[in-house]
Every structure is written in C-alpha cells, then in structure tokens.
Amino acid sequence: MAGSGGLAEWTEGAAVWFHPAGAAAPLPGELVEIHRAARVLLVSALVNGQPQTFALQMGNGEEEGDPVWPREELGPTGVEDMTRLHDLHEAALLWNLKLRYEQGLIYTYAGSILVAVNPYRPVDALYGLQTARRYETTFLAAVAPAPPGRAPVSEQILEAAPLLEAFGNARTPKNHNSSRFGKLLELYFKDGALAGARVAHYLLEKSRIVTQSPGERNYHVFYELLAGLDEEQRKAKGLLTAEHYFYLNQGGDSGGAGAGADWSTLCGAMQVLGIGDAEREDITRVLAAVLHLGNVYFHRKQLRHGQEGVQLGGGAEVRWAAHLLKVPAEALARALTTRVTAARAERMRSPLPIDQALDARDAFAKALYSSLFSWLVLRINSIVHRAGLHDAHRISLLDIFGFEDLEENSFEQLCINYANETLQHYFNKHIFKLEQQEYQKERLEWSNLTNFPRASDASYLEKCHYNHALNELYSRPRLGANEFGVKHYAGQVWYNVEGFLDKNRDALRADVLELLCSSEVPLVAEMSTQLRAQHDANKTLPRGANGRFVLRQPPQPPGVDVPLQPVVRALHQAQQRQVAHEVRHA
C-alpha cells in the first residue's frame, strides 16, 4: 500500500489507517499531532480496548511505503458492497469485513464476487425458520416425475448429501463438520425440470482414516456406526465403544453424542438411494474391519542373518478382520507381516520390519475405506444420473478444500494447495475477462498485459532444489531440513517431503490385493475389481530385451490418481459461458 506522499495534506483529527511496527495488520486511528520538521505523526488508536498513541516516522515524500493512509468512516456495519469504498486497499477491505462479521453479517459483495466469512457458530438470523419462510414459495425448477416405485430424483439427490457427509466429513478444531474431500455436483435440467445429477469426487483425505491430530476426529460414519448398532449387532462384529479403537482415539475426542440418530438417518438415506439390507450389512462389515485392523499391533523380532521381522500382536483383531472380510485369517496375518517379491518365475516371501508392517496395516485400511467411498459415489450416480441427459442444461457446483497451511504440511496439503492455485488461475481469468468486456462496452481505454526410477524422498527434494532454486516463489530451508517452501497466492507454505513418494504412489501391494479379491463378501469383491484396475494402471513399466522400458498402450500416467480434470473442465466451460460464481470462505 502506498503512503501519503507528503505531510502537507494531513490535518489533525483526520481518520487514518496506520501500520505500527510488529502489528500483524493495519489499524484504524486518529491523527492527533503533526511534527512537520521531524516528519513524525502521532496517531491515537484503541488496542484491545485500551487507547494508545503511536509515533510514526514518515518518509521524504519521494518514496512509497509510509505507514499511514487516509481512512473513510464505514459506520457500525460497514458497507455491503466493497466497490463503494473510496479507499480500496487491504486495510479498508479487512476492516469492513471485520465490522460486518461482528454484527453477524457474514456475506459481503465485492462487485460480482460474494465474500462469505465463516462464522464458526450458528447464525439463526440467516438460516432459521423465519428466514426460510421468506423463500418457501420460490422454486428453482419443477421436478421431473419419478418412475413408479422409485423416489423422485430431487429426494434422491437430497438424501445423497448426508451419505457423502457421513463418509467424507470429519471434525476439525475449527469446523465440526468439515468436508475432507472435493466434489463436483452437476445438476441436469430438461424442459424446466430437474432431471438428474452426477457427483465426481477427488482428493479424499486418506491419511485421516489412520491418524488424526489433537482435537480432530476420524470420519463421522465410524462414530455413527458404533452408536447406532444395537448390542447384538455390535457383538456380532466384535465392536466396542469408540475410545477402544486406535483409529478413533488419537485426537482425544471419541465422543459420539447424537451419533445414534445420525446412523438411523444414514440408513434411511441408503434406502432411498436403493442400497438394500444386504449391501448395508456389507458396508458395516467393511467399516468394522477397518476398526479392527487399526488395533493390530506388532513386536520386533530378530531373525537369522541379522534380519528384523515382527511378531503379530492383537491376534483376535486379525481374526475379527478376516472374519468380517471373509478371507483366511492366516493369509491376512501373512499379508501384514511379510511381503511377496516376484523375481522371474519365482515368488519370494520376505519379513517386514516393524515400521513397514505398520505401513502395510495402514495401507490396507486406507484402501478398504477409500474403495468403499468410491463405490458409494458410483452407486449414487447409478441412481441419480439417468439416461437421456446428454443434451440437458447443466449447473455445476464445486466444493473443495480451502487453502491449507498446517503445523506440518505433507503431500496431501501440496495437492490441496495445487488445486486451489488452479482454481485461483481460472477465477482470475474469468474476473479479468469480464472486466475487459465491461471496459469495451463503456469504450474505456485499457492495455492487454500479457515415474521416478529408484527415486527417494531425498532425491525428490534434491531435484526440487536443483530445478527451482532460482525461482523467487521457491525457498530452500536454511538448516538442511527435509522440506521446501512454496510462496502460494495465499502465503508461503513449507512442505515436509518425508513419505512424499509413497503417498504419491498410493500403492497397494499385489499380494494384499489378491487377498481382497478372494473375499466372499460381494461388496468387497466389487471394490477389489476397481482396486485391481488402478493397480494395473500404475504398474512399473516392463523392460524389453535391450533393457529399456516398454510403453504399454494406452499410456497411463504414473502416480496417484488425482482427478482434477473434471474440475478444470467444468471451470473452463463456465468461464467460456461467463456464468461462473465463486464463494470464498475467509
């Protein structure tokens, strides 16, 4: 922000913005004294409710950067549209949002942009019954009639929401119902009626399935399951209360108040979406198996020739998981404690050290849950996405994580922030294109400004340093830590590369996949088919007789499947049609 450019224009009593040394953001104040010879301004302001006076040294009038700017009075509730502000700089915008937030006004316009500040509390004046009644006779469209014996498509779409929330949302310190996956909901309309929908999902936070930070919880459905099943049903699956499960108690909050009613609601939603009793039973078996897997533990065991292996602990948990998945318990135990290596025509089994055994356990659990989530999305689409919609009008609703900067950032945060950078790119293009068209209409003048072979986390970091060290948006750590920094549009984030490659591969071992494919649970067998397809697509490329890699047809990109293409495509189409609407939560 530029300074005033000189002291001649200032008068005592003027309302100003100023940025005292050490303050995180500019503050509003009043100019009380002007010492022109010393080029010093005295500014009075309230800090934490107490009046304070600050002495601010001004520049020589020839350079920008003075710590004082003119301020207009915004009143107790600020302005609804920030384009009406006379002083369009960061301090005025932030203060206006703060004033409105304190009055419970969380929505503010910036021209065609709607800024929504997360209230972190219920706002009854906005979402209560009285407000809802103002709009109860307003309809977006009629609803297409449902076939006999089938729920209307609008009801099915509405019931899909609690199902996706249960399996894809979790409690975080700032949000008790935080969406931990991205989704693109497409609504189709024909002849003025809602005719169908389709859901695309991406970036499910798989790490949450096996670990949570303090104050956080696993996905809602686990707590709802344990609270909603009766004693006989829990006993049949060997289930106890939430605090007994490692995958649920790491965050220190395993309570499930109200979760029993949520399980009943969830079962009702499944029924509307055509998920019958047998499939619901299979879903509970998979969820219970994940919880039992989390309680499997290992002891270090010294083997011959200096090798380290593990001795399985929690044998009862292994037997329960095998029983629920309908696979041999001995085979499951082998999959968790050893690995199979294929060499020519032989298959060799070698013991896993304890850290790799724990990784194998967690990878198994993540594969089960994420495959179940994908299966649910496919089932929802099979119900709400009906034939004959290729020529229908469409509204696309994108819901994605916000920008993340945690105490420790890893591969998941890099993917999330990369997706946000992509969205920001299309958002900027859309906004600037509309502005240019407005200028043209008003005839205003403007100028156009134009597989890592044998890789490791350490080698990946070295390549990042080598290729990007001269980029001003890239930072190297001073003390040689295993991290790198990226200056995003929302701020700088440091990423710890430990485990990057494994998370990117997101691989499930072939012997574990074979075990899942042998399951006699129909749902697990169906999930395993999709897992096998992903596994085959991400296999290491074979070598030919000359030792070179042979490319399969069709070529498949290596690494984790992050389907951002539907998101980018939807944004691009919206940009072309000039109908994109975005809500940013601050």
pLDDT, greater one: 443 or 43: 43
Using pLDDT thresholds of 50, 70 and 90, give the confidence band for residue 196: very high
Percentage of residues of the chain with pLDDT beyond 70 = 81
Give the pLDDT of residue 462. Answer: 86
Of how many residues is the chain composed?
586
The pLDDT of residue 446: 66
**Residue 346: C-alpha distances to residues 279, 313, 343, 535 (Å):** 39, 30, 5, 20
Q: Answer whether CATH 2.60.40.1840 is correct for domain 142-283+390-399.
A: no
Residue 149 carries which DSSP code? T
Round the average pLDDT of the chain to a whole number and report it. Answer: 82
d(CA 240, CA 244): 7
pLDDT at 558: 39
pTM: 0.72
Q: 3-state DSSP call for residue 403?
A: coil
How remote is the C-alpha of 424 from its chain's centroid? 15
Reported as a pLDDT band with limits 50, 70 and 90, residue 327 is: very high
Contact 289, 323 (CB under 8 A): no
Tokens standing for residue 154 = 């609008």
Q: Which of 68-82, 209-223, 509-523, 564-578 has the lowest mean pLDDT?
A: 564-578
Give the model's confidence band at 580: pLDDT under 50 very low, under 70 low, under 90 confident, else very high. low
Q: What is the 3-state secondary structure (H, E, C) of 409-428?
A: ECHHHHHHHHHHHHHHHHHH
pLDDT at 561: 38
- Predicted local confidence at residue 241, as pLDDT: 93
Q: How confident is the model at residue 556 (pLDDT cuts 50, 70, 90)?
A: very low
Report pLDDT for 26: 85
Gap between the Cα atoms of 133 and 266, Å rounded: 27
Q: What pLDDT, on a 0 to 100 scale, did the predictor assign at position 555?
A: 41
Beta-strand runs (E) in 251-409: 297-302, 308-313, 338-343, 346-351, 393-399
pLDDT value at residue 149: 52
**Looking at residue 66, what is its pLDDT?**
62
Fold that domain 294-369+505-537 belongs to in CATH: Four Helix Bundle (Hemerythrin (Met), subunit A) (1.20.120)
Model confidence band, residue 466 (pLDDT cutoffs 50, 70, 90): confident
Q: What is the pLDDT of residues 130-165, one digit of tens each?
A: 777 776 655 555 555 555 555 688 889 989 999 999
The token duo for 481 is 């830590």
Residue 286 has what DSSP assignment? Answer: H
Determine the Cα–Cα distance for residues 452 and 86; give it in Å rounded to an integer.
54
Cα–Cα distance between 89 and 316 in angstroms, integer? Answer: 63
CA 479 to chain centroid, in Å, comes to 30
Other CB atoms within 10 A of residue 37 CB: 6
Strand partners, 116: 107, 585
User: What percentage of the chain has pLDDT greater than the value 90?
Assistant: 34
What is the amino acid identity at position 546?
Answer: N
Count other Cβ atoms within 10 Å, centred on residue 570: 19
Range of lowest pLDDT (36-50, 148-162, 532-546, 555-569): 555-569
pLDDT at 423: 78
Contacts of 271 (CB under 8 A, 6+ apart): none
Q: For residue range 101-126, what is the model confidence (pLDDT) as tens digits?
A: 989 899 999 887 889 888 877 777 77
Beta bridge partners of 202: 182
For residues 441-453, give the mean pLDDT.
64
Q: Is the pLDDT of residue 578 over 60?
A: no
Highest mean pLDDT pick, 343-352, 434-443, 567-576: 343-352
pLDDT tens sequence across 284-318? 999 999 999 999 999 998 887 778 889 998 789 99
For residue 261, the Cα-to-chain-centroid distance in whole angstroms is 26
What mean pLDDT is predicted for residues 553-562?
40
Q: What is the three-class DSSP state of 297? A: strand
The answer to whether residues 461 and 480 touch, using CB atoms and an 8 Å cutoff, is no
Tell me how crowded residue 5 is: count the other CB atoms within 10 A of its CB: 14
CA 201 – CA 311 distance, rounded (Å): 39
pLDDT given at position 547 = 45
pLDDT for 505 beyond 50: yes
- Tens digit of each residue's pLDDT (9 = 90 or more) over 346-391: 778 889 999 999 999 999 999 999 999 999 999 999 999 988 888 8
pLDDT band at 193 (very low <50, low <70, confident <90, very high): confident
Angle 353-354-357 (CA atoms, 0-180°, nearest 5)?
90
Please give the pLDDT value at position 250.
Answer: 93
Q: pLDDT, tens digit, for every residue of 6-61?
A: 666 788 899 998 888 777 778 899 999 988 888 888 999 988 888 999 998 887 54
**What tens digit of pLDDT does each residue of 413-427 get?**
888 888 788 878 777
Q: How confident is the model at residue 549 (pLDDT cuts 50, 70, 90)?
A: very low
| pLDDT of res. 226 | 95
Helix (H) or strand (E) holding 92: helix 90-102
pLDDT at 421: 84
Q: Is 550 exposed, middle or buried (0-12, 13-18, 19+ CB in 10 A)?
A: exposed
Q: What's residue 560's pLDDT?
A: 40
CB-CB neighbours of 296 under 10 Å: 26
